[in-house]
Structure 1
Amino acid sequence: MIPVTQDVLADLAPNGRLRAAINYGNPILANKDAATHEPKGISVDLARALARQLGVSVDLVPYDAAGKVVAALEQNEWDVAFVARDPIRGKGIEQTFPYIIIEGAYLVREDSPIRSNDEVDQSWNTVVVGRGSAYDLFLTRTMTKATLVRSPTSPGVVDMMLADGYGVAAGVKQQLMSDAERVTGLRLLEGRFMVIEQAMGIPKGRPAGAEFLSVFLRTMIESGFVANAICTHGAKGALVAPLSSKG
């Protein structure tokens, strides 16, 4: 690890505490303990580990959607965040290399004529995505025929699809698999339509903090911390990002 200088602390804990944005909209990274209602998950573990490295306390700042995390940047509500890599987010957030890779998938009704990912982008089709999510940003750029509608949160895409009669729900594969187990008559399309690279981020203009964050995250990956967190929290389908993706 590089030294914890005053510049590092000024960037990552300007108020003497680390404010870490936690996105409950991605259950692979964070959720609430069913018994205690306390936050838990991979991003929670990383936030607490970072605070220990800095020698400060941590404040976990909760959000129910990634888009709300990004929007909160303008209100200076957090000092570090856990968000998927995307060029739009990169305009205001200095993002690290990815530490976890997860898959974006589609869910349809059992009787849907759609059988593959390539058949989703049709003019008669409507796809539900979580507002401001990584797959919302990706599909907004890449879909040319289908209509996109946005659920306020990512965990709500399937319920919105069913309630409003839409054809497809798009999201994190693990969340959609859970929805398919919860609701009968649904089918997950095979494969994936995108790979989502989960990274850490800091507001731009904080170079000392950004450098420290990258070194910290590399250490967490190489030490096995991230892999252990995936196992501890049962984050099925999440993979530690390969070294080649870190540049």
Structure 2
Amino acid sequence: MSIATDIVCAFAPAGTLRASINTGNPILARLDASGEAVGVSVDLARKLAARLGVGIELMVFDAAGKSVAAVTGEQADIGFFAIDPARGEGIRFTGPYVLIEGAYLVAEGSPLRDNAEVDRAGHRVVVGRGSAYDLYLSRALKAAEIVRAVNSQAVVDTFVAGGQEVAAGVRQQLQADLLRHPGLRLLPGRFMVIEQAMGLPKSRGEAAADFLRGYVEEMKASGFVAEALERHRIEGASVAPASANA
């Protein structure tokens, strides 16, 4: 498959595709025993570089906000993010490739039993700074106070140490944290569905953005994303349906 030179240059102006990888969301990427980043987002980045015929450099961050800043500031050429209007000011997004649930966690003895009870005066909700659910809850919560942990992986530790009323995060991360912290429980259901997409700096142009959108749709339709989730033993996340504007 021949790709126009201007498209290749838009993605890799220096000849190497710099991919921003966020290991703060273990559903998409994590560090293996050797310290190397692995996961579905890494697989998508490597396959895109191969398709463009360029090398790849993984720029690994431990928090979503840092990963977003790298792409917005053009220190990276592509990234993997939850779609959010605040991030869209500097980034062009594809349609989502994975859907993830955002959930609430409370102490076992908490009187809270339903997601709708969280947004009340006197409740403090711990979130990962700059995460998708931080951005969402900053808009959605009207009465509860938001407390920001350094990143998503530190949310439950911050919650336990600080004695706040609620912790918010990706369901799978919270479920893993339950194993480390007995005496906690998840509220049933979800407070949001997090749409994970690829993105590139807005300055790279609409033609490059269209190419990336098509790439993501192809990776979903071909089974590549589903196979990557299975290969990395990711449970609880689902492949996003085809985008209406694909």
What's the TM-score, normalizing by structure 1? Answer: 0.96
Paired residue secondary structure (1:60): strand
After TM superposition, give the deviation of residue 63 of structure 1 in Å. 0.7
The equivalent residue for 2:41 is: 43
In structure 2, the residue matched to 1:71 is 69
CA contact (8 A) 1:98 1:246 kept: no
Q: Which residue of 2 aligns with 1:201?
A: 199
Q: How does 1:166-177 map to 2 (within 5 A)?
A: 166-177=164-175
Q: Distance in 2 between the 1:104 and 1:114 partners?
A: 17
* Structure-2 change in CA distance of 1:230 and 1:74 (3 Å): closer
Residues 97-129 of structure 1 show CA distances to partners (whole Å, capped at 9, x for unaligned) of 001000000011101111110111110110000
Match of 1:104 among 95, 102, 105: 102
Question: In structure 2, what is the Cα distance between the partners aligned to 1:151 and 1:212?
Answer: 36
Q: Which residue of 2 aligns with 1:153?
A: 151
Query: How big is the shift at 1:246?
Result: 5.3
Distance in 2, Cα, partners of 1:113 & 1:52: 52
TM-score (norm 2): 0.96
Aligned residues: 245
Contact 1:81 1:202 in 2 (8 A): yes
Secondary structure at 1:100 match in 2? strand
Q: Secondary structure at the match of 2:203?
A: coil
What secondary structure, in the 3-state scheme, does the structure 1 residue paired with 2:75 have? Answer: coil
Amino acid at match of 2:112: I
Structure 1 residue identity aligned to 2:226:
A
**Secondary structure of 1:72's partner?**
helix
Q: CA deviation at 1:73?
A: 3.3
Structure 2 distance, partners of 1:75, 1:136, is 21
Identity level (%): 56
Q: Are the equivalent residues in 2 in contact too, given 1:121–1:143 (CA < 8 A)?
A: yes
In structure 2, give the amino acid aligned to 1:45: D
Return the letter of the residue paired with 1:82: F
Matching residue of 1:125: 123
Q: Is the 8 A contact 2:72 2:91 kept in 1?
A: no
Alignment partner, residue 243 of structure 1: 242
Question: By how many angstroms is 1:69 displaced?
Answer: 1.4
- What is the root-mean-square deviation of aligned Cα atoms in Å? 1.2
Q: CA contact under 8 A between 1:23 and 1:64: conserved in structure 2?
A: yes
Matched-pair contact (CA < 8 Å) for 1:98–1:245? no
**Structure 1 residue 150 displacement after superposition:** 0.6
Q: Letter of the aligned partner of 1:185 in structure 2?
A: G
Name which of 138, 142, 154 aligns with 1:144. Answer: 142
> How much does 1:198 deviate?
0.2
Counterparts of 1:88 and 1:246, CA distance in 2: 21
Change (3 A) 1:131 1:49: same
Matched, 1:31 2:30: yes
Q: Distance in 1 between matches of 2:154 and 2:40?
A: 21
Q: For residues 196 and 111 of structure 2, what CA distance do their matches in structure 1 show?
A: 32
More off after superposition, 5-14 vs 23-32 = 5-14
Cα distance in structure 1, aligned partners of 2:15 and 2:190: 42
Kindly provide the amino acid, as one letter, of the partner of residue 241 in structure 1.
A
For residues 151-189 of structure 1, what are the alpha-carbon distances to aligned partners after superposition, in whole Å with 9 as ceiling and x for unaligned?
111010000001111111100000000001121001011
- Deviation, 1:208, is 2.6
Deviations 1:179-231 (A, max 9, x none): 01121001011100000000000000222321211111111111100000011
Trace 1:50-65 onto structure 2 (pairs within 5 A): 50-65=48-63
**Superposition deviation, residue 50 in structure 1:** 0.3
Inter-partner Cα distance in structure 1 for 2:219 and 2:109 = 44
Would the aligned equivalents of 2:119 and 2:144 in 1 still touch at CA under 8 Å? yes
Once the two structures are superposed, the pairs formed by residues 212-227 of structure 1 within 5 Å of their partners are 212-227=211-226
- 2:10 corresponds to which residue? 11
Alignment correspondent of 2:86: 88
Contact 2:18–2:57 under 8 Å retained in 1: yes
Aligned-partner residue type, residue 215 of structure 1: G
